[in-house]
Each structure stands twice: as structure tokens, then as C-alpha cells.
Amino acid sequence: MSKRVPLGWPAFLSTTIVLIGAIALHAAWMPVALLAAIAATLALRVSLRRRRSRPERAILRLLLLAALLAGVYFSLGNLLGREAGSALLSALLVLKLLETDTRRDARLIVTVSCFLAMCSFLFQQSPMQVAFACIVVVLALATLVQLQSLASRDMADRRWRAFDSDVMAGAGRLALWSVPFAAACFLFFPRLGAPLWGAPGDTFTGRTGISDTMEPGALSSLALDDTPAMRVSFQGAMPAKADRYWRGLVLWWFDGRTWAGSGAYQGFRDEPSVEARGETYQYDVMLEPTDQRWLFMLDAPLSVPAGATMGGDIQVRWRQPVRDVLGYHGVSSSRYVMQRELGSTQRYMALSLPRGGNPRARALAATWRDAGLDARAIARRGLAMIDNSFIYTLEPPLLARDSIDDFLFSTRAGYCEHYASAFTYLMRAAGVPARVVIGYQGGQYNAAGDYLTIRRADAHAWSEIWVENEGWVRIDPTAEISPANIADDALSAMEDDADAGWLRSLHERWDLVGFWWNRAVVEFGQIRQQRLLQQFGIDRATPAQLIGLMAVGATLAIALAGWGLSRRRVRQRADGPLAAWRRLCGRLARLGVARQPSEGPRDFAVRAASALPEFAPALDSVSRRFVTLRYAAVNDPADGELAGFEREARELERALSRRYGRRARP
């Protein structure tokens, strides 16, 4: 099979389209300069190849190879890792296209394009991405069919036309009928408990939402990002929106500007203790990848999801950074007592402040402390500070070096992180143990799927103070701002939950697709597979059992597809006159005058006329016209002729319906 099969222009064009599709799947994370270089190379090759079918000159190929490699290296900094890998593969494929002039080369490009399409899932597994990748793969299959056809070797064809409709239909049918097979394999293929080699996480650069520190602007940058962060479905009751604080991570250290977590020292010696004081809620979370270890739990969590740990700061950590969609179960209560006893380490950390700075805030807090107020009273004073003069805005003015003083006493405009930061500072300065918690607040209920969608825009920061006998108490200073002081339209629109309408419902539907996709496919792992099989009485399925099940399922699927594919297209599309005639015959049959298979149109018309005498002239005329149209030796009857016949047949049909009703003859 080493024969060199030439490649016609349309087949070359199809191959190029598949390649462009595969590269486009990676466009989101490819440097713009590289994309431009790839586009230019493709355009060059297509225009040259259209003129003359032959590989480009070796010198041109070498130059472009060097240029593209250098481009990848300088725009990505290295040639290893995920981005560089996909960029490199794309560039090499484009270079391969420069010398593609045989069927063999085209097949190579199509095959590697499929691989490239698969690689795009290492970056993004959203339903949209998968849908586009599926389109690319179907186009790839269509190209393979086209490459196989004799017409693909037609070197004279220079039309701008790539895929024939029957080639597309053939490939589409094959792909469609392979869905059951894919589903069977997907369900039962044994999964690996641990990866064979390193996960691609070391180069994780996806947008991650909340980061592990909080400085002014950290959360407001997310305020307009409506990417879903997590989706939660409750079993039973759902807390009110005001109680839906999704606890993420706890920040202790303040350096005058930035709040940071406790770092590696997460456990503290304290045992976590949360006592429920009200209703408990059961829920399942589907967390989008964050590349961070903490999990978001409804405040406050009563149990730890399997595989996670909880420290004394009631912060739940996963065993590794979350790089794929992660599902976990939570139990929480929004009335609780958290850490009735405060350990000495925590007390120390919860009171520590940077040396110096912010003199006015310190002085104010000192007056509260010296007044001998208890923690609750001091907190009330602190909240009272945030009066009508404070503005909630996405674009606060920049703060001076004493950021707390500047915010509290002069700018008085900020986003939630400013409020939480300032309030916590005041509390610590007044001697009340306090800390910052960041996570999400609220979430939008999706009625279609009965779950909550929490978006990155819902990111929020609040404070917790420790009160004798009550433990850590959540205080949200941002909630003190009066709604009239929300500065930005975008923010108020987001706060306004009642903007119902078709757009909203469309948004909800689309979010539901993402939810189902995550639940059914992305998050399906070893555990879910075992759980699925438990429902059928297989407790711990061994890989051998799984393979057996897969074989059975795949065989059934192939049999089903074989039936579907071999089914002859039952009804050939009838030509113009025949379709109208058949409809008329069907109507007559329902009236009790069925045409016998052996009966010609004229004989049938005579018989029908004797059964329905009042329609005799119409039947006679219609059947005559039909016979003329269908059997007369006229190759191309005038258009008017056909339309006239169809109109007449339809009118007769209607007249019959009017006279005898739609069903059967009375």
C-alpha cells in the first residue's frame, strides 16, 4: 500500500478545515502572536496549493519551521508543559500541511487533529468545548471518507467546496450510531485509582476564581465573572439566601495591606468542634476546578466530606489541589456554636496586628476597649461605624499607606474585602479575637434543575469574632451598607434577583446543561462507577468483571448500530407528482376506496369515481394529469404543469375532507 495516491483540491481543503478546527479548540490558551503566525502560514499554503498541487519548497518549510518553533518558545517560555505541548503540536501539524500532497499525509493530519481535539479537554471540559470537539471529530471522519473516494483524486476540481453532503451524512451516521458503543465503554471501562504518570497540574493556569490571599481588589476583580464556581443541590430544605455563606478559607495574617491564610500551619492543635443549634442541611456540591486545596462548605460544616480534612479553623481541605470537577457531600447548619474553647495559638493569631500603622483606627478601637465593653458590644460599635456615608463600589479609590485609616475615615468606598478587612482590624485592635473568612455568598436557584448555581461573582469576604460561650460568630460588615449606596449599575443588576424573563430562563437552562454534564460525565470516576454497579448487586467490581460488562454492553451497542446502519432508508423520497398522488390515494383509502397494488391510476380513478360519484369529474381530471406528468415521454414538464397538478390534487383532498370529515366515511 505504499502507492502514492494523489490528493485533489477539495480533499485538501477538507483536511485543512479539520486542522483549523482542531487548532481553534486550543485558541483560548494559545498566544495571540502564535495564532496569527499559524493563520498566516495556513493562508499562504492554501493560496499556493490552489494554484499548484505540490509540496512547498524545502527552504520555505525549513524557514517556517524555525519561525514557528521560535514563536512557541518565546511566547510560552519553554517547549514542555501543556500549553507549549499543544502549541507545538499545532505548529508542527501546520508545517506538515505545507508538504501534504498525498492521501497518506492527509490521513496523518486528520488523525493527529483528532488527538489534538482530545488534548483540548486537558484544559477545559465544558459542554461547549466538548460539542465543538465533537463537530471537529465528525468533520475528521467525513474527511477520511472523502479521502477514500475516487472523486478525491480529481486534480482538476478547483472549486471552493469541501465536504459533499453524502460524505457528511455517511460520517455523521457512523458517528451517531457509535454513541451507544461509546456510552457502554464509558460506563464500564475500568478507571485508574491513581495516575500512571504525573498529572498536568504543575502547569495549571486555568482561571481559578478566589485565590489564597486577599488584598484590596482581589474579590472585586471577580465581580463581573459569571463563570460557575460550584453547583449545589440540597436534599430537603435549603437555607434562606441571607444564610447561604459558603465558607472557603480562613485568613489570619495581615501585613497592613494583604490578608493571608495560615499557610502550612493549618491544623492547630485544637480539635474542630461545631455544635448544631438549628436545622441541619444535607447537600451535594459539584465544585469546578480551582487548583486550590480548600473546599467550600455551607457555614458551618458539621461533617467532613470523605477524602477531606478539617482543621481547627473549620476550614476543609481536599487532599490535593482540585484540578477536575469534584463532587462531595456536606452536612451543615446555619445556627451553630463553633469552637467554644479558643486555643492559645488561635487567640494569639486572632489578635495579632502589624506593628504600627493606622493610628486613627487603633485609637478608636482603644477607646472601645478601654470602655470595658464586651465583644458583642464592640462589634456593634464597629458595625455602627459603617453608616450611610459608606459606598459599595467595584472601583474604589486607591488607598494610602495606612489603608485602614484611609478607608474608614476618608475614601469610605470599597468592595466587601475592604469592609471585612477594616472591621477585622478594628476588632483585633479592640482586643476581640477576629479573623477574615472568604468564600461565596448566596447563589442563584435554578428551578429547572433544582439546584443552586454559585458563580465567581458571588465571591465574598466577611469577618468572624470570637465571643465567650458563643465561639466564633459570623459578622458581615458589608451587609450594613444601605442598598441606596451601591454605586455600580452592574452590581445592582447582580443584586437584583428578580430579573425574570426569557433570557434568565435561557441562562438557567444552559447552566443546567453544564450541571448535568459535570454530574454525568466530567465527575464520573471510580467511586461513582462502583456506586452505579452496587445498584445492580455488584458490590466491588473487579477490573475483569468491568471488562466483561463492557464487552457485553459494547456487543449490544454494535448489534444495535449494525441494525440501524443496515436498515435501508425505508421511504425513498417521492418525486413531485408521485408525492401528491400518494397523498390523495391515502385520503381515498381512508374513505374506504383503497387502490389495489395492481391497479393503474386511470383504472383506480374510474373505480373511485363510481364509489364517489360527485367527485367523478375531479378524479378524472386529476388522474389524467398525473398520468401525463408521470408517464408521458416528456423529460422536463413545465413547472406550472406540476404545480397545477399538485394544487388540483390538494383541492380534491380538501373537498373530500370537507364532504366526509377527516376520518372515515360515515
Partner 1 sequence: MAAFQALWRPRWEALLRRAERRLPALTRYRMPEALPIALHGRRVYILPTGFGVFFGVTLVTMLLGALNFNNNSAMLLTFLLAGAVFMSLSRTVANLARLELTTLRGMPVHAGQPASLVLRFGVRDGRAHPTCRIAGGPVEREFDLPADGGEIELALPTLRRGWLAVGRLTLSTEYPFGMFRAWSVLNPDQSLLVYPAPEPGAPPLPRGEARDGHARPTPGGDDWQGLREFRTGDARRLVAWKASARHDRLLVKEFASPVADELLLDFERLGSLPNEQRIARLTRWVLDAARLQTPFTLVVPGQRIGPGYDAHHVERCLRELALLP
Query: Smallest distance, Å, CB 8 to partner 1?
Result: 14
**Shortest distance (Å) from residue 135 CB to partner 1:** 12
562 touches partner 1 by CB under 8 A = yes
The residue within the footprint of partner 1, chosen from 199, 331, 487, 538 (CB under 8 A), is 199
- Minimal distance, residue 618 CB to partner 1, in Å: 36
Query: For 85, phi and psi rounded to 5 degrees?
Result: -60, -50
* Residue of 46, 65, 185, 606 interacting with partner 1 (CB under 8 A): 185
Task: Give whichever of 73 and 189 is closer to partner 1, judged by the CB atom.
Answer: 189
For the record, the C-alpha cell of 308 comes out as: 477531606
Q: How far is residue 379's CA from residue 462's CA, in Å, rounded to a whole number?
A: 13
What cell does 206 get? 486555568
Size of the site for partner 1 (CB under 8 A): 60
Q: Which three cell numbers, joined as nine digits, stand for 502?
A: 426569557
Q: Measuring CA to CA, which residue among 336, 333, 331, 304 is closest to residue 239?
A: 333
**Nearest distance from C-beta of residue 149 to partner 1, angstroms:** 6
Task: Kindly identify the residues of this chain, within the stretch 112-171, that bind partner 1 according to CB under 8 A.
Answer: 112, 114-115, 117-119, 121-122, 125, 129-130, 133-134, 137, 141, 144-145, 147-150, 170-171
| Spatial contact of 234 and 243, defined as CB atoms under 8 Å apart | no
Site string for partner 1, 56-95 (x = CB under 8 A): ----------------------------------------
Residue choice 389, 469, 566, 635 for contact with partner 1 (CB under 8 A): 566
Residue of 181, 204, 234, 253 that binds partner 1 (CB under 8 A): 181
With respect to partner 1, which residue has the nearer C-beta, 164 or 212?
164
Question: For the packed helices 359-370 and 375-385, what is the interaxial angle rounded to 10 degrees?
Answer: 140
Please check whether residue 249 is in contact with residue 438, taking contact to mean a CB–CB distance below 8 angstroms: yes
What Å distances lie between residue 92 and 103, 118, 384, CA to CA?
18, 17, 64
Single residue of 53, 178, 233, 282 touching partner 1 by CB under 8 A: 178
Least gap, CB of 191 to partner 1 (angstroms) = 7
Residue 399 and residue 392: Cα distance in Å, rounded? 15
Is 200 a binding residue for partner 1 by CB under 8 A? The answer is: yes
Residue 406 is classified by DSSP as: I
User: Is 282 among the residues that bind partner 1 (CB under 8 A)?
Assistant: no
**CA 339 to chain CA mean position, Å:** 39
The strand pair at 391-392 and 413-414 is best described as: parallel
Measured CA to CA, the distance from residue 415 to residue 480 in angstroms comes to 12
If binding is defined by CB under 8 A, does position 660 make contact with partner 1? no
* Dihedral (Cα; 477, 478, 482, 488), 10-degree rounding: 160
User: Are residues 90 and 123 in contact, defined by beta-carbon separation less than 8 angstroms?
Assistant: no
Of 196 and 503, which CB lies nearer to partner 1 in the complex structure?
196
Minimum distance, C-beta of residue 205 to partner 1, in the bound complex (Å): 16
Does the footprint of partner 1 cover residue 447 (CB under 8 A)?
A: no
Q: How far is the CB of 111 from partner 1 (least distance, A)?
A: 5
Among 73, 132, 186, 234, binds partner 1 (CB under 8 A): 186
- Contact between 354 and 255 under an 8 Å Cβ cutoff? The reply is yes
Q: According to the binding rule CB under 8 A, does residue 24 interact with partner 1?
A: no
Q: How far is residue 389 from each of residues 103, 133, 237, 412, 415, measured CA to CA in Å?
A: 73, 52, 38, 7, 14
State which residue, 28 or 66, has the beta carbon closest to partner 1.
Answer: 28
Beta carbons of 83 and 30 less than 8 angstroms apart: yes
Q: Is the Cβ–Cβ distance between 382 and 423 less than 8 Å?
A: yes
> Can you tell me which of 159, 195, 202, 536 binds partner 1, judged by CB under 8 A?
195
Catalytic residue among 402, 416, 418, 511: 416
Rounded CA gap, 255 and 193, in Å? 42
Q: What are phi and psi of 265, to 5 degrees?
A: -85, 80
- The residues in 92-111 that bind partner 1, with binding defined as CB under 8 A, are 103-104, 107-108, 111
> Does 418 contact partner 1 by CB under 8 A?
no
CB of 447 to partner 1, least distance (A): 27
Q: Is 476 a catalytic residue?
A: yes
Report, in Å, the least distance between residue 212 CB and partner 1.
24
What is the CB neighbour count within 10 angstroms for residue 572? 8
Could you list the beta-strand ranges (E) of 492-573: none
Among 26, 405, 460, 585, the active-site one is 460
| Interface residue with partner 1, options 371, 551, 565, 664 (CB under 8 A) | 565
SS3 210: coil
Q: Which residues pair with 214 in a beta bridge?
A: 259
Catalytic residue among 105, 406, 476, 511: 476
Give buried/exposed letters for 164-192 (b at 16+ CB in 10 A, else e).
Answer: beebbebbeebbebbebbeebeebbebee
3-state percent helix, strand, coil for the chain, nearest multiple of 5: 50, 15, 35
Q: Which helix (H) or strand (E) holds 197?
A: none
Binding positions for partner 1, 478-537, rule CB under 8 A: 521-525
Which one, 148 or 221, has the nearer CB to partner 1?
148
Burial class (CB in 10 A: 0-12, 13-18, 19+), 256: middle
Q: Does 410 bind partner 1 (CB under 8 A)?
A: no
The least CB distance from residue 458 to partner 1, in Å, is 26
Residue from 52, 59, 156, 197 in contact with partner 1 (CB under 8 A): 197
Q: How far is the CB of 194 from partner 1 (least distance, A)?
A: 9
Closest by CA position to 15, among listed 120, 107, 98, 150: 107
| 445 touches partner 1 by CB under 8 A | no
Q: Are 10 and 159 in contact (CB under 8 A)?
A: yes
Candidate residues 73, 177, 204, 660; the one interacting with partner 1 per rule CB under 8 A: 177
DSSP 69: H
Strand 451-455 and strand 444-446: the pairing is antiparallel
Residue 288 or 464 having the CB closest to partner 1: 288
Rounded least distance, CB 543 to partner 1, Å: 12
Q: Specify the stretch interacting with partner 1 by CB under 8 A; choose among 17-25, 458-466, 559-567, 609-617.
A: 559-567
Stretch that binds partner 1, among 7-15, 36-44, 176-184, 384-392 (CB under 8 A): 176-184
Residues carrying an active site annotation? 416, 460, 476
Binding site for partner 1 (CB under 8 A): 1, 103-104, 107-108, 111-112, 114-115, 117-119, 121-122, 125, 129-130, 133-134, 137, 141, 144-145, 147-150, 170-171, 174-175, 177-182, 185-186, 189, 191-192, 195-197, 199-200, 324, 521-525, 557-558, 561-562, 565-566, 568
